[in-house]
Amino acid sequence: MDFSSFATRGWLGRAVRLPLRLIPKDAVLPVLQGPLRGRRWIAGPPACVVKGSMHMLKLDLGCGPFAKEGWESFDNSPSAFLARHPILKWLLWKLGLMTDDHYRLQWSRNIRWKDVTRGLPYRDNTVDLIHVSHLLEHLSQQQGEKLLLECRRVLKPGGVIRIAVPDLFRAAKEYVQNVAPMMEGLAPPDRAPHDRFLEMMFSGCLRRMRSGHRYAYDYPTLAVLLCRLGFRDVERCSYRKSRHSDLSEMDSRPEDSIYLEAVK
Ligand SMILES: C[S@@+](CC[C@H](N)C(=O)[O-])C[C@H]1O[C@@H](n2cnc3c(N)ncnc32)[C@H](O)[C@@H]1O
């Protein structure tokens, strides 16, 4: 059952959260990230309870199997759900409904199982940093745009979003460079460049997997989109180079990504 919108605002929510107001501000965050983790119906919207503390609110959207310390991590994979229900996971595996590989891969238990295209559970102007790595290409163009708008809504003025996506330009260039000699009869036919390019474009879609690629970005397209949605200081970044050290530490996949940052 999802209690996330229960009792966060009205008198009942305030009453349930009263004990949090009685403990020192510095102790609030460890309590929220420890025993109360995921229990937002008690904790209230994070930024509202932590108001006044020095801690930053940082979101990692489409985080994959591993939640990073200090980040609120979201993913809608069934594996994120099953990480919190090990008996169900074991049962699915025993019944042959889950492969050995999926069973063995341990997802962090503190990932919030959520489809982020349906909105982020934060108030306007409350989030400091957002990290979105290799998620946008799994969404349709419209969903991606809606998610970026939602990121803008929750970011504080001056808050930063860092986005990593597979680089369409790099993949297309590699395809053309490899296929052109074949077209001119200078190299023997080989389908590998074609397969690599289509894998980048569609990923698991070609194998009818649940989460394939549904869109592709290059730097100009994403930069124009971020500007149109009202972000400023849009900047292309190198791997692990960021205006914020917390964001640069999140980078992975240097070989095929473009990294962009933008400020609200
Ligand atoms: C390619 S992985 C990227 C994982 C990690 N961010 C990285 O860069 O290695 C994409 C992740 O996004 C998640 N995802 C896809 N659509 C999503 C959605 N609508 N809401 C939340 N997570 C989603 C998938 O379950 C998957 O774990």
Q: Could you tell me the distance, in angstroms and rounded to a whole number, from the CA of residue 185 to the centre of ligand 1?
A: 41
**pLDDT tens, position by position, 234-256:** 999 999 999 999 999 999 988 88
Alpha carbons 75 and 25: distance in angstroms, whole number: 29
Ligand 1 pocket: which of 138, 146, 205 to mutate (most atoms within 8 A of CB): 138
DSSP state of 240: T
- How far apart are the C-alpha atoms of 59 and 130, rounded to whole Å? 5
Among the atoms of ligand 1, which is closest to the Cα of residue 116? 20
Can you name the residues that pair with 133 across neighbouring β-strands? 164
- 177 Cβ below 6 A of ligand 1: no
Atom 4, ligand 1: which residue's CA is nearest? 64
Which numeric CATH code is attached to 56-76+114-264?
3.40.50.150
User: Quick one: which atom of ligand 1 is closest to the CA of 115?
Assistant: 20
Say if ligand 1 is within 6 A of residue 140 CB: no
pLDDT at 2: 38
Local mean pLDDT, 10-residue blocks, the chain (264 residues): 44 63 54 52 45 76 96 96 95 93 93 97 98 96 98 98 97 96 95 92 70 92 98 97 94 92 98
Bridge partner list, 112: 74
Instruction: Give me the residue spans of the domains in the chain.
Output: 1-54, 56-76+114-264
Specify the pLDDT at position 256.
87
- For residue 24, how many other CB atoms are within 10 A of its CB? 7
- Which DSSP symbol is given to 106? P
- Please give the order of strands across the beta sheet that includes 155-166: 112-113, 72-75, 58-61, 127-133, 155-166, 257-263, 232-237
Q: Decide if 86 contacts 93 (C-beta within 8 A).
A: no
User: Ligand 1 pocket test: which of 58, 73, 75, 130 has the largest number of ligand atoms within 8 Å of its C-beta?
Assistant: 75
Per-residue pLDDT of 78-116, as tens digits, reads 999 999 999 999 999 999 999 999 999 999 999 999 999
Q: What is the pLDDT of residue 49?
A: 40
Cβ atoms of residues 62 and 138 within 8 Å:
yes
Helices (H), 23-160: 25-33, 40-43, 46-49, 78-82, 86-94, 100-104, 141-154
Q: How far is the CA of 162 from the centre of ligand 1 (A)?
A: 15
